[in-house]
Amino acid sequence: MQYPTRFQIEVVDIIDSEELVEQYGTRIPVVMKDAVQQVLAWPFTYADLLCFVDEGEMQ
């Protein structure tokens, strides 16, 4: 498996948005791929994160 070497990361503090607190409050941290609207929410393992970044699917 090859891992992407370039990422664009945007950190969002959900406390600034009531909608985001409702949606993700108990599942943070959350990793989202904007281009494909996929979300990886806690709990996840390091392997899950690498797979999500590489393919968008969890093991």
CA–CA separation, 35 and 14 (whole Å): 20
Residue scoring higher pLDDT (34 or 49): 49
Residue 27 lies in a domain: yes
Q: Residue 45: pLDDT above 70?
A: yes
Q: Residue 4: pLDDT above 60?
A: no
Q: Which domain holds residue 30?
A: 19-55
Residue 39 lies in a domain: yes
Residue 13 lies in a domain: no
Residue 30 lies in a domain: yes
Overall average pLDDT of the 34-58 stretch: 81
Residue 24 lies in a domain: yes
**What's the gap between Cα 46 and its chain centre?**
12
Residue 45 lies in a domain: yes
Residue 31 lies in a domain: yes
Q: Is the pTM of this model over 0.85?
A: no
Q: How many other β-carbons are positioned within 10 Å of the β-carbon of residue 40?
A: 19
Q: Residue 53: pLDDT above 60?
A: yes
Domains in the chain, number: 1
Q: How many helices (H) and strands (E) does the chain have?
A: 2, 2
Q: Residue 1: pLDDT above 60?
A: no
- Give a three-class secondary structure readout of 23-34: HHCCCCCEEEEC
